[in-house]
A and B are shown apart, each in its own frame.
Chain A
Amino acid sequence: MTDNVESTEVDVYEKEHSKDEMKRQVISFALMIVFTLASFGLVASGKFSSMVVIPLILIMALVQVAFQFYYFMHMKDKDHEMPSTLIYGGVWCAALTFTALAVVTWW
């Protein structure tokens, strides 16, 4: 009997927890839509020079990707040290590859 009571309490806690989680994910989705709209709006308006627009849209892309990784893919949760290591390892190699290919041709 006591076991049952305890397990229901855990369930209630878990349910609340995943509800909160869901709320955060919906908020991140809304913010991602806002960033997308802002990026397209900036470019479509055509009022700003490319020196202003390009850094801005790149920053907004990075923010969106952070939302995607940390909230949608749960990288902010505990026991995600290994996934973070793997992804940041990948990002590091990616940066090297990218530098080799793109930056060198701008010389």
Chain B
Amino acid sequence: MSYDESLFPEKLPHNPEKATLEGRNKFMGLWFFLGGETVLFASLFGTYLALKDSVHTGPTSEELFGLPLVFLMTVMLLTSSLTSVYAMYHMRNNDFKKMQLWLGITGLLGIGFLICEVYEFAHYITDYGFTFRSSSFGSAFYTLVGFHGGHVTFGIVWLITLMLRNAKRGLNLYNAPKFNTFSLYWHFIDVIWVFVFTVVYLMGKVG
């Protein structure tokens, strides 16, 4: 990127993420992407609901799922959604250090969530022999929950890249939209998780 005076003003405007055309385009582009993601996850949820009772000889969802771990994961992801709101609050007040701090906390909570998920899958595979291939339920479950976990993983890689790449740059009109798009994506991951814990885990426990 060539050095552009207009991207580094003395004083940032109140909404630095929407001050440039590029920023507004990034914002719109991400929402467009989220609209598509909605359809992707709907197809996975539809598949899961259609196949969840086809358990073959394997364990059923009621035998498998444990609510305490899922609750812990839910709280971690929900809290990370709030911490990224804090990060964006500090971005709008042009406080780069506090923004980085809250983004860091967001990332750590996301990593905590992933560790729990890996533990959960490992527990199902080793203790129950419940794998991707053991039944239609298994395939649908790992595809849906795994796709969500993959989105979390991608989000964490995105966040770390953003934080490291911009660590010495400070906040300006060039990178403010980037942080904002990440935070929108991260909220969307939590939106998907709300449906995952309700439809997969809670409804799986009720039967």
Contact = CB atoms under 8 A, between A and B. Distances in A.
Interface in B83-114: 85, 89, 92-93
Contacts of B47: 101
B46 A39 contact: no
A64 B194 contact: yes
Contact of B74 (A36, A72, A105): A36
B46 A61 contact: no
Contact of B81 (A44, A57, A68): A68
Interface string A33-70: 10010011001100000100110011011001100110
A18 interface: yes
A81 B71 CA distance: 34
A1 interface: no
Contacts of B116: none
B207 A50 contact: yes
B85 A87 contact: no
Contacts of A18: 89, 92-93
B205 interface: yes
A9 to B, nearest CB: 13
Interface residues of A, number: 46
Interface string B186-206: 011011001101110011011
A94 B202 contact: no
B202 A40 contact: yes
Interface string A62-86: 0011001100110000000011001
Nearest to A26: B82
B203 A32 contact: no
A43 to B, nearest CB: 5
Nearest to B13: A14
A11 to B, nearest CB: 8
A47 to B, nearest CB: 11
A68 B187 contact: yes
Contacts of A94: 38-39, 41-42
B87 to A, nearest CB: 12
10 contacts: A36-B78, A40-B71, A40-B202, A72-B187, A73-B187, A90-B39, A91-B38, A93-B39, A94-B42, A97-B43
Interface of B: 14, 27-28, 31-32, 34-39, 41-43, 45-47, 49-50, 67, 70-71, 74-75, 78, 81-82, 85, 89, 92-93, 184, 187-188, 190-191, 194-195, 197-199, 202-203, 205-207
Interface of A: 10, 14-15, 18, 21-22, 25-26, 29, 32-33, 36, 39-40, 43-44, 50, 53-54, 57-58, 60-61, 64-65, 68-69, 72-73, 82-83, 86-87, 89-91, 93-95, 97-102, 105
Q: Closest 4 A-B residue pairs measured CB to CB? A: A101-B46, A90-B35, A94-B42, A90-B38
Given A101-B47, A102-B50, 4 more contacts: A18-B93, A61-B194, A89-B35, A94-B42
